[in-house]
Structure 1
Amino acid sequence: MWRAADCLSITQNYFQEGLNFFKPEVHWTGPQGNGKTISEFPIIYFAVAKLWTLFGKHYFIYRSINILLVFSGLFSLYKISYRILKDNFWAAFIPIFLFTSPALVFYTNNFLPNAPAFGLSLTGIWCYLLFTDTGKKKWLVLSVLFFTVAGLLKVTSLLIVLAFFHSRFYKAILTFEEMELTAKPC
């Protein structure tokens, strides 16, 4: 709970004080007396503060952004699952089953960046798969953007990215070995 309060405090300070993006502060002033803090990449905090400036301070705006990012990841997981399984039921079952995790539900409707980073990682994988299918560079750029923001929000979200690229690398090695075995000598 204290970490969620810190996230909300950073957002509140961006909103009330109009702080520079690169100088987030919390309400606790600490030994230096200035409230300066180091945290993950503050893009969500800053964006929510700007939305609060436009629409007023409403916590549902913050929660809605987090929910939107997680649900985009769950939808991407559905698309990834359908691509592999070719079955709507099982493709839908996997993200729904994942969302039955109390931890994911708790962090989705919270102020912490863990769940949004996870959602961005899944969305990045889906964009990368679209790139491999279509060859359009916009999907590769979006994929890198989602992976980068996910990693900046929570570095542990890159574990899924590392596992994904490890499996792609392994598949490429196997494909290369098969090509070598089937190649006929001159």
Structure 2
Amino acid sequence: MGTEYDIPDVELEYAARLYRKAHTAGLVAGRSANGFATACLLVAVRKSPLQLPVSLRELEEVARATEDQIKTARGVLEVRMEIEIPPLEPQDLIPKVTSELNIGVPVEQCAKTLLRAFRADDETDCHGFSPRTLTGAALHAAYDTVDCDNRPTLSQLSDTLRVSASTISQRKRYLLQYTGICE
């Protein structure tokens, strides 16, 4: 799984140590070892100072465990081992998407600025918003602000992020109120 997403050795070693700790504590017995391996890798990726843009969905695609097995292992790590698994941040996905779609630096910077403003706004309740959807919405809104050629289509954004185009459009309206700060 780690090689599929170019996860550095330090994070892979952290995941392995966490797995051994869970195994030694008897938490893996009777549960999916592959589910625990995936959940431990998720913890390592999310706690990495490198802000790796690997989502749970991506790990599930290459894991040898079912979604339920991974969810169970994740719950055990969070509850029994008291490990906090931070959420994936939308801004962590932006470099990956801009690279894949050949999006220019001005649009990338504007999208990051929009996400920071959105997050800093106390009036905004973004609970339940997918990080992937917010990333797509920020990039889509940034193109409305920054004069730039080679704008990817909404369909290209949604395919790259693996989220619905209509959801990106819906979330974009939350970010458009901040576009003045990108000018």
> How does the TM-score come out when normalised to structure 1?
0.30
Higher relative helix content: 1
> How does the TM-score come out when normalised to structure 2?
0.30
